[in-house]
Homo-oligomer: A and B are copies of this chain.
Amino acid sequence: MEKPNKFVYHFSAENTEGSKDLGHLLGGKGAHLAEMSSMGVPVPPGFTITADMNLYFYKNKQKLPDFFYKQIRKDIQVLEKQTGLNFGSTEKPLLLSVRSGAEVSMPGMMDTILNLGLNLKIVKKMAQTDARWAWDCYRRLIQMYGDVVLGADASMFVFFMEDYKSKKNYNSDADLTAEDLEHLSVQFKEQVLQMTGEEFPEDPEQQLFGAISAVFDSWNNSRAVAYRELNSYSHQLGTAVNVQTMVFGNRGENSATGVVFTRNPTTGEPHLFGEFLQQAQGEDVVAGIRTPLPVCGEKKSLETVLPSAFKQLVEISQKLEKHFQNMQDIEFTVEGGKLWILQTRNAKRSVRASLRTAVDFVKEGLMSEEEAVMSILPKDLEKLLHPTLDPQKKKDSLCKGLPASPGGAGGLIVFSSLEAIEKSHEKVILVRDETSPDDIKGMISAQGILTTRGGMTSHAAVVARGMGKCCIVGCNAIQIDMEKRECHVAGKILKEGDWITLDGSTGEVYLGEIPMVKPELDQYFYDFMKMVDRYSQVKVKANADTCEDASAAKNFGAEGIGLCRTEHMFFQEDRLDIVRKMILFQDDLEKRKTQLSSLLEKQKKDFLSIFQVMDGESVCIRLLDPPLHEFLPQNAKEIEELAVKWSEDVRHISEQVKSLKELNPMLGHRGCRLAVTFPELYQTQVRAVALAYVDIIQGHKKCFPEIMVPLVGTVKEFIYIRDLIRKTLDEVKKQSGVELHIPIGTMVELPQAALRSAELAKEADFFSYGSNDLTQTVLGISRDDCGRFLPDYINKGLIPADPFVQLEQHSVGWLIEFSAKSARNVKSDFPLGLCGEHGADPSSIEFLSRLGLNSLSCSPYRIPVAKVATAQAFIRSQGMKRENNSKELSI
Task: Enumerate chain B residues within 8 angstroms of A717, measured Cβ to Cβ.
Answer: 793, 798-799
Taking a contact as CB atoms under 8 Å apart, the answer to whether A714 and B799 are in contact is yes
| Contact with A481, one of B651, B668, B677, B810 (Cβ below 8 angstroms) | B651
In the complex, A433 Cα to B749 Cα: how many Å? 30
Q: Do B751 and A778 touch (CB < 8 A)?
A: yes
Query: A676, B798: Cβ atoms under 8 Å?
Result: yes
**Once the chains bind, are A479 and B655 in contact (CB under 8 Å)?**
yes
Q: A673 at interface (Cβ–Cβ under 8 A)?
A: yes
CB of A160 within 8 Å of the partner chain: no
A459-489 toward B: CB 8 Å interface, digit per residue (1/0)? Answer: 0000000000000000000010100000000
Contacting pair A815 B779 (CB below 8 A)? no
A662 within 8 A of B: yes
- Tell me if A785 and B751 are in contact (CB < 8 A): no
Contact B756 A789 (CB under 8 A): no
Q: Which residues of chain A from 762 to 800 have any CB-CB distance to chain B below 8 Å in the complex? A: 773, 776-782, 784-786, 788-789, 792-793, 796-799
Tell me whether A662 and B785 are in contact (CB under 8 A): yes
A contact residues, total (Cβ < 8 Å):
57
Q: Which of A752, A755, A798, A815 has the most CB of B within 10 A?
A: A752
* Any B CB within 8 A of the CB of A410: no
Q: Which residues of B contact A789 (CB under 8 A)?
A: 669, 673, 676-677
- Does chain B have a CB within 8 A of A713? yes
User: Does any Cβ of B come within 8 Å of A711's Cβ?
Assistant: yes
Checking B667, B677, B749, B798 against A666 with a beta-carbon cut-off of 8 angstroms, the contacting residue is B667
Whether the pair A668, B751 counts as a contact (CB closer than 8 A) is no
Q: Does A814 contact B (CB under 8 A)?
A: yes
The interface residues of chain B lying within 8 Å CB-to-CB of A792 are: 676-677
The interface bits of chain A over 213-229 (1 if a CB of B lies within 8 angstroms of the residue's CB, else 0) are: 00000000000000000
User: Which residue from chain B places its CB closest to the CB of A749 in the assembled complex?
Assistant: B780
A716 at interface, CB cutoff 8 A: yes
What is the bound-complex CA distance between A232 and B722, given in angstroms?
A: 26
Tell me the bound Cα distance from A604 to B676 in angstroms: 50
| B720 close to A755 (CB less than 8 A) | no
State the CA gap A797–B773 with chains docked (Å).
Answer: 26
A785 close to B663 (CB less than 8 A): yes
- Give bound CA distance, A792 to B586, whole Å: 14
Whole-angstrom CA separation of A614 from B686 in the bound complex: 61
Q: Does A4 contact B (CB under 8 A)?
A: no
- Given the complex, which residues of B lie within 8 Å of A96, measured CB to CB? none
Q: Which of A659, A711, A751 has the most CB of B within 10 A?
A: A751
Q: Is the CB of B720 within 8 A of A798?
A: yes
Q: Please tell me which one of the listed residues B676, B752, B785, B788 contacts residue A779 in the complex, with CB atoms under 8 A apart.
A: B752
Per-residue interface assignment for chain A, residues 664 to 686, with 1 indicating a CB less than 8 Å from any chain B CB and 0 otherwise: 11111100010011000000000
Distance, CA A666 to CA B788, complexed state (A)? 14
Closest to A678 in B: B792
Which residues of chain B are near A720, meaning CB under 8 Å? 796, 798
> Which residues on B sit within 8 Å (CB–CB) of A755?
778, 810-811, 814-815
Q: A785 contacts which of B658, B664, B752 (Cβ < 8 Å)?
A: B664
Q: Is there an interface contact between B664 and A782, defined as CB atoms closer than 8 Å?
A: yes
Q: Cα distance A100–B668 when bound, in Å?
A: 47
Q: Which A724-770 residues have a C-beta within 8 angstroms of B? A: 749-752, 755-756
Partner of A751, one of B659, B665, B711, B777: B777
The answer to whether A799 touches B677 (Cβ under 8 A) is no
With A714-B799, A752-B811, A755-B811 given, is the CB distance from A780 to B677 under 8 Å?
no
Question: Are the CB atoms of B782 and A667 closer together than 8 Å?
Answer: yes
Bound-complex Cα distance A789 to B716 (A): 15
What is the distance, in angstroms, from A566's C-beta to the closest C-beta of chain B?
Answer: 19
Within the complex, the shortest CB–CB distance from A150 to chain B, in Å, comes to: 39
| Interchain nearest-CB distance for A433 vs B (Å) | 8
Given A751-B778, A780-B750, verify A756-B796 contact (CB < 8 Å).
no
Establish whether residues B716 and A798, one from each chain, have CB atoms under 8 Å apart when the complex forms.
yes
Q: Which residues of B contact A786 (CB under 8 A)?
A: 668
Residue pair A785, B713 in contact (C-beta under 8 Å): no
CA of A717 to CA of B792 in the docked complex: distance in angstroms? 11
Residue of B nearest to A663 (CB): B784
How far, in whole Å, are A788 and B784 apart by their CA atoms in the complex? 23
Residues of B within 8 A of A677 (CB): 788-789, 792
List CB contacts (< 8 Å) of A435-478 with chain B: 453
In the complex, per-residue mask of A694-726: 1 if CB is within 8 Å of any chain B CB, else 0: 000000000000000001011011001000000
The A808-856 residues at the B interface (CB cut-off 8 A) are: 808, 810-812, 814-815
- Contact residues in B for A711 (Cβ distance below 8 Å): 780
Residue numbers in B under 8 Å from A788 (CB-CB): 668-669, 677
Structural contact, A716 and B797, CB atoms closer than 8 A = yes
Q: In whole Å, how far is A304's beta carbon from the nearest beta carbon of chain B?
A: 62
For A788, the closest partner residue in chain B by CB is B669
Whether the pair A751, B798 counts as a contact (CB closer than 8 A) is no
Distance A664 CA – B799 CA, assembled complex (angstroms): 21
* A776: chain B residues within 8 A (beta carbon): 667
Contact assessment for A669 and B714 in the assembled complex, using a CB-CB cutoff below 8 Å: no
CB pair B780–A773 under 8 Å, yes or no, is: yes
User: Which residues on B sit within 8 Å (CB–CB) of A797?
Assistant: 716
Kindly identify, within residues 204 to 219 of chain A, every residue whose CB is under 8 Å from any CB belonging to chain B.
Answer: none
7 contacts between A and B (CB under 8 A): A453-B659, A662-B784, A664-B664, A713-B780, A716-B797, A717-B793, A752-B780
| Interface contacts beyond A751-B811, A752-B811: sample of 7 additional A-B pairs, CB < 8 Å, sorted by A | A662-B782, A673-B789, A717-B799, A751-B815, A752-B779, A755-B778, A773-B780
Interface residue ranges, A against B (CB under 8 Å): 433-434, 453, 479, 481, 651, 655, 658-659, 662-669, 673, 676-677, 711, 713-714, 716-717, 720, 749-752, 755-756, 773, 776-782, 784-786, 788-789, 792-793, 796-799, 808, 810-812, 814-815
Of all A-B residue pairs in the complex, the 7 with the closest CB atoms, nearest first, are A667-B782, A664-B782, A668-B785, A750-B780, A752-B811, A663-B784, A662-B785
